[in-house]
Amino acid sequence: MEIKELKYFVAVCKYKNISKTAKSLYISQQALSTSIKNLEKKLKTKLFRRTHTGVELTNDGMYLYQKVKLLLSEYDSICNDIYRFYASVS
């Protein structure tokens, strides 16, 4: 799994719509769909189910969303700490 895939996953969770999410990320709908499919393939599970208005999380998707939110929060914190450290050294 790549951080970018996880960020895309969280964005789809937020917008609940692939095309709206793709527009918000400034990427093509196809690129976003491919990223989500790759993530599902790696995890060997479906993360979303299609609805008449977009997508909704499966049970596995809900579980992953809770874990990924924590992971990305920690990742952002680490990146900020490293940035501040090197900014203070320069």
pLDDT tens figures, 17-72: 999 999 999 999 999 999 999 999 999 999 999 999 999 999 999 999 999 999 99
Q: How far apart are the first and last CA of the chain?
A: 33
CATH of range 3-89; options 3.50.50.60, 3.40.1440.10, 3.30.1490.20, 1.10.10.10: 1.10.10.10
The C-alpha atoms of residue 83 and residue 66 are separated, in whole angstroms, by: 26
> Do the Cβ atoms of 2 and 38 come closer than 8 Å?
no
Distance (Å, rounded) from C-alpha 23 to C-alpha 33? 12
- pTM metric for this prediction: 0.89
Residues 6+ apart with CB under 8 A from 46: 40, 58, 60, 61
